[in-house]
Amino acid sequence: MRKGHQSWIFNSKPVIIASVAVGGPFEAKGPLAEDFDILHEDIRLEQDSFEKAEKKLLEQACEIAIKKAKIQKEDVQFFLSGDLLNQIVTSSFAARTLAIPYLGIYGACSSSMEGLALGSLLIDSEAADYVLAAATSHNAASEKQYRYPTEYGGQKPPTAQWTVTGSGAAIVARGGEGPKVTSATIGRVIDMGITDPFNMGEAMAPAAVDTIEAHFRDLNIIPSYYDMIATGDLGAVGHRIAGELLNKHGMNIPPEIFTDCGLLIYKEEQPVFAGGSGCGCSATVTYGHLLNRMRKGELKRILIVATGALMSPMTYQQKESIPGVAHAVSIEM
């Protein structure tokens, strides 16, 4: 059911009956390591390219999610997935392996919650009984495409972020046990003229703020309704800017409930500059750490606001600015 201008309320409350997080060696050294189902020591996953390694990450996450849900692949009506590589080939090639009807999505790093929102809409509208929603990224593959290959050794500024090597996947169902998806707010594209590809946080923060404000306006609730409000991958720079903008707009979210997945996934002493990023950032933190906390009873209501920078190497070379988008999903236990 549509609520307000850009939100949906899911009356049937689709259930996340299984969720999975798979990561790489850098994620294994972070504070959330115990919340990953698999952590790989080899960033190549014994593949002959970083891109093939990313595909294997996604396939593993999806296959484990189906197994944990105790269903068969044939029971899943739709597979929704997104990634950062050109033409979302990681998701498309994983869909080839899974052989599940496939809807490829691209919201950059907001793809995780875009997929969960659309998957929940399919369940709520009775278009599906089971949906597989996933998102993935790989540090070395993303660096090669968007910036400089890792082997180049280019120096980065403090505003840069570290793309997560990880995949997150969830099975959303019409019934069952687990956290429930209660609402979603679809974000607008916001562009404040930022052109620095090494400062994604600043480019995405206004979109996060716009979606957060729309969510509370559409649903007529206040921030204290949630135990946690987590943006996707704004990192230290973007998270600070988002907080300042929210305060400026009169929406004071208590700092103890306002966090960012890019700040949670790595330790301060890890050389990640301003924090984590990538489609796998909000996907692994949400489908691993945060949903585990919900199942333990530590969190009852959370709002995940996944953020994405809608740029490409082509737009950067043509000196375009970097548009941002953010999609919010409410999950309750």
State mean pLDDT over 258-270.
97
Taking residue 310's Cβ as centre, other Cβ atoms within 10 Å add up to 20
Amino acid, single-letter form, for residue 54:
E
Query: What is the pTM assigned to this prediction?
Result: 0.97
- Match 């600043």 to its residue by tokens: 202
d(CA 185, CA 252): 19
pLDDT at 116: 98
pLDDT at 65: 98
Contact 330, 303 (CB under 8 A): yes
Q: Residue 147 — pLDDT band, cuts 50, 70, 90?
A: confident
State mean pLDDT over 248-253.
94
Contact 259, 31 (CB under 8 A): no
- Outline which parts of the chain fall under CATH 3.40.47.40: 11-173, 180-332
Is the per-residue pLDDT at 148 higher than 70? no
CA–centroid distance for 129 within its chain: 23
Tens digits of per-residue pLDDT, 191-209?
A: 999 999 889 999 999 999 9
Longest dimension (CA), the chain: 51
Contact partners, residue 11, CB within 8 Å, separation at least 6: 1, 124
Cα separation values, 326 from 113, 205, 306, Å: 9, 9, 5
pLDDT at 143: 87
Q: Which two tokens stand for residue 146?
A: 């968007």
Contact partners, residue 318, CB within 8 Å, separation at least 6: none
- Percentage of the chain exceeding pLDDT 70: 98
Tens digits of per-residue pLDDT, 66-83?
A: 999 999 999 999 999 999
Q: Residue 122 — pLDDT band, cuts 50, 70, 90?
A: very high
Report the topology of domain 11-173.
Peroxisomal Thiolase; Chain A, domain 1 (3.40.47)
- Percentage of the chain exceeding pLDDT 90: 92
Is the per-residue pLDDT at 217 higher than 80? yes
Please state, rounded to an integer, the average pLDDT across all residues of the chain.
96
Which CATH number, 3.40.47.40, 3.40.50.2030, 3.20.20.450, 3.30.230.10, labels domain 180-332? Answer: 3.40.47.40
Cα separation values, 66 from 16, 63, 71, 235, Å: 12, 5, 6, 31
Burial class (CB in 10 A: 0-12, 13-18, 19+), 30: buried
pLDDT at 152: 65
**Residue of higher predicted confidence among 17 and 152:** 17
Is the per-residue pLDDT at 156 higher than 90? no
Is the per-residue pLDDT at 113 higher than 80? yes
pLDDT at 299: 98
Cα separation values, 11 from 15, 174, 177, 185, 217, Å: 12, 11, 16, 15, 19
Taking residue 29's Cβ as centre, other Cβ atoms within 10 Å add up to 13
d(CA 48, CA 159): 31
Q: Residue 260 — pLDDT band, cuts 50, 70, 90?
A: very high
Tens digits of per-residue pLDDT, 279-306?
A: 999 999 999 999 999 999 999 999 999 9
